[in-house]
Structure 1
Amino acid sequence: MQKASKNHSPLYSVFAAALLVALAGCNTAGTGRPTVASNGEARIKESELRAYCPQATLREGTAFFNTYEKGGEQDPNRVVYQAAITDITRACKYGDGMMNIEVAVAGKVVPGPKYRNGTITMPIRVAVLDGDRVVYSQLHKQMVNISNGDVATQFVMNDKGISIPIPEKQTIQIFVGFDEGPVKAQK
């Protein structure tokens, strides 16, 4: 068994120096602007990671959406497809007095007994409320091409167009869900 030596090799000294230089490059304090990493990407500041970003919630009763063949509404034997929202998330950025929010929605479409190939259109609404007041509402027409009746088809939808004044209080709510309402936008 070899005894550990307190004298370190020159390779260890080079490694230690390189580590100190690398750690020094991680400092983002100072200008208040994001620094740029050596690969050209902007670094995220700690203040941005800790900033308020309202939760996105799937509104009750809006996680599933069925399409029936004509005349077969509510008959489970006449379902063309059933879509489900399986996950939602959001990201927030601040700038010029505005909170810019991106909402992402993931889901899947499962063929039903009356399945047929083609493109389907699903109505997905993203709504932002400040208390009881609607500050943003957009109904998206999410199109998904279904070409295999034996497997579920996944989809992802992004709404990058949400920009609201920075709220004075943390009362913002984001709701997502299928919505068969009229296709109109409120901003």
Structure 2
Amino acid sequence: MGRAVFKWRSATVFILLASASLAGCQQGGGPGLAGSAPAPAVEGDAQENAIRESELRAFCPPVTLREGTAYFRTYARGEEGNPDSVIYQASIADVTRACRYGPDATTMTVAVAGKIVPGPKGRTGTITMPIRVVAVRGEEVLYSQLFRHSVAVEDTAGATQFLFTDPNVVIPGGVDQAVRLLVGYDEGPGSGQ
């Protein structure tokens, strides 16, 4: 009985520590989002590197996928829409963000992770995906940028992972509960393929 309680308590402590670690990553942005972990502070830098309580409590809007924009397909020329002519299908698997608070604006880094799977006409080469990042406050568009993100596909036997980041989403006047971030593929006019 004593060993079972010990194992249960050990598992509980492990879960709590893992949760705290993940929560820290969510607040701080994690690796690859807002940069690497800050260097240990030396006496002169202690004031500069200190995290203020207001930053820990500050709101950082979540990122969501725009409805209907999680997938992107490329087809053999002249055969658009034919499932037997798909060269690649790309999909967004996860999105996240990190906030850097300034006196006049908040700058956000948005990260998108996904994969590219070859279709029936799959081949090696480069796929260029139109990824749009949008920030809105109510109906007002605060930021909208279309990126042409290229990924090299070197093997048609399996999926190719990709990571896209936009480190320059600037929200003038700071963020509040009305600010929303949206990302997704944009195949509309002007996006190109």
Tell me the TM-score range normalised by the shorter chain: 0.7 to 0.9
Q: Which residue of 2 aligns with 1:65?
A: 72
Secondary structure, aligned partner of 2:106:
strand
Long gaps (5+) in structure 1: 1-34
Long gaps (5+) in structure 2: 1-37
CA distance in 2, matches of 1:48, 1:76: 49
Q: TM-score normalised to the size of structure 1?
A: 0.74
Q: Which residue of 2 aligns with 1:154?
A: 161
Within 5 A, what are the aligned runs for 1:1-187?
37-38=40-41, 42-167=49-174, 169-181=176-188, 182-183=190-191
Which segment drifts farther, 158-167 or 172-181? 158-167
Structure with greater helix share of residues: 2
The answer as to whether partners of 1:79 and 1:115 remain within 8 angstroms in 2 is yes
The answer as to whether partners of 1:36 and 1:43 remain within 8 angstroms in 2 is no
Secondary structure, aligned partner of 1:158:
strand
Q: How far did residue 75 of structure 1 move?
A: 1.1
Identity of aligned residues (%): 50
Q: How far did residue 128 of structure 1 move?
A: 0.5
CA distance in 2, matches of 1:136, 1:177: 14
Tell me: CA distance 1:164–1:73, structure 2 relative to 1, closer, same or farther (3 Å).
same
Q: How far did residue 93 of structure 1 move?
A: 1.1
Q: How far did residue 38 of structure 1 move?
A: 4.3
**1:166 counterpart letter in structure 2:** G
**2:178 counterpart letter in structure 1:** T
Secondary structure, aligned partner of 1:37:
coil
Tell me: CA distance 1:150–1:38, structure 2 relative to 1, closer, same or farther (3 Å).
same
The answer as to whether partners of 1:91 and 1:102 remain within 8 angstroms in 2 is yes
The answer as to whether partners of 2:93 and 2:113 remain within 8 angstroms in 1 is yes
**Number of residue equivalences:** 150
Secondary structure, aligned partner of 1:49:
helix
Q: TM-score normalised to the size of structure 2?
A: 0.71
Aligned alpha-carbon RMSD (Å): 2.3
